[in-house]
Amino acid sequence: MKKTYVYRSSLAPYIEGLICQKRADGFLYEYEAYILKTFDDFCVDNGFRDTVITRELVMKWAVQRETEGINYRNQRVSFIRQLSLYMNSLGINSYIPRQTASTVTTIPHILSTEELKSLYHVIDSYLPDKEKWQRFSIEYQVIFRLYYCCGLRLAEVCNLKVKDVNLEDGILKIVQSKGNKDRLVYMADDVADLCRNYHKRMVSLLPGSEWFFPGRVQGQPIRKTSMYKKFKQFWNMTPFADACDKAPTIHALRHTFVVNRMNEWMLEGTSLNTMMPYLSRYLGHSSVEGTFYYYHQVDKAFQIVRKKDSLSGRVIPEVVPYEE
């Protein structure tokens, strides 16, 4: 069941029209609807009453907040760009913000075995202060393991619905992820068991929840922003936080999954040419090159490549594209 927002600004009819059109075209458009709601509130709070999108409004909306990164800011602006394009298609002359490229991709921090153990010890020991939120202790234990053990993206875990989790066979159905692609992700037996035990607990705590990981707001999934903050909190509680020159983000767990899996294959002598198409599909990448790019970025990977130098030149191609 999609969340229904009430839009109150002078642009409300066009926001609702855009959302209806996108959903009619087969897009979920749930996260976008939420961002458009925050834009709608922004218009009301700032006394904006025009029925067109002006440059002045876009410039105010585009100011980067202290609590967000440039990529998230660019994403917010891109949704308003879509709204402006929609309004112009209706003959309403609105300012169209230019498309902004994301920042240069930085080299990710690949977590060591010791760092992973320490991080999960912190997560497993966490207990919220308020009793009504103590269910999140078991949610976090499962959520953060899916990021690493299955290499899932941030939103893919947050947006999991109960109906898309096949607990009997241990399969996750990832619906309309990046590039609007669906895929099946097979869990390892121990991860599937963890999900089964977790779900039994959640059914008793929140019966009838549509979301596999319900958030604080009734009827809504856990927020991506909440997961960003929690990961940072948990990482800072590990003994490695102060000694790390570049703090990892939650996406580092996905990177670590890829690098560790490829390293295992290389050390075992398994053909990457054979296995990489499977790993790429598992991750939701549109090409093998997008997966190889992960491997190209990190020193830890090339420690293995150097050991396998006679093989690596043939199986680790030079790649430029990047696809999370």
pLDDT digits (tens, 9 = 90+) for 123-165: 999 999 888 899 999 999 999 999 999 989 898 999 999 999 9
Can you give the pLDDT at residue 255?
A: 85
Q: Cα(266)–Cα(272) distance, rounded to whole angstroms?
A: 7
Model confidence pTM above 0.85: no
* Distance of alpha carbon 310 from alpha carbon 163, whole angstroms: 47
Instruction: Give the tens place of pLDDT for each residue, 263-276.
Output: 787 777 777 667 77
Angle at which helices 288-296 and 252-268 cross, to 10°:
90
Secondary structure of residue 289 in the 3-state scheme: helix
Percent of the chain past pLDDT 90, that is, above it, reads 52
- Whether the pLDDT of residue 169 is over 70: the answer is yes
Neighbour count for residue 157 (Cβ, 10 Å): 24
- pLDDT band of residue 316 (cuts 50, 70, 90) is very low
Asked if residues 150 and 187 have their Cβ atoms less than 8 Å apart, the reply is: yes
Residue at 129: amino acid letter: D
Amino acid at 195: C
- Cβ neighbours of residue 207 closer than 8 Å, sequence gap 6 or more: none
User: Which pLDDT value is given to residue 264?
Assistant: 80
Nearest one of 276, 258, 280, 272 to 315, comparing CA atoms: 272
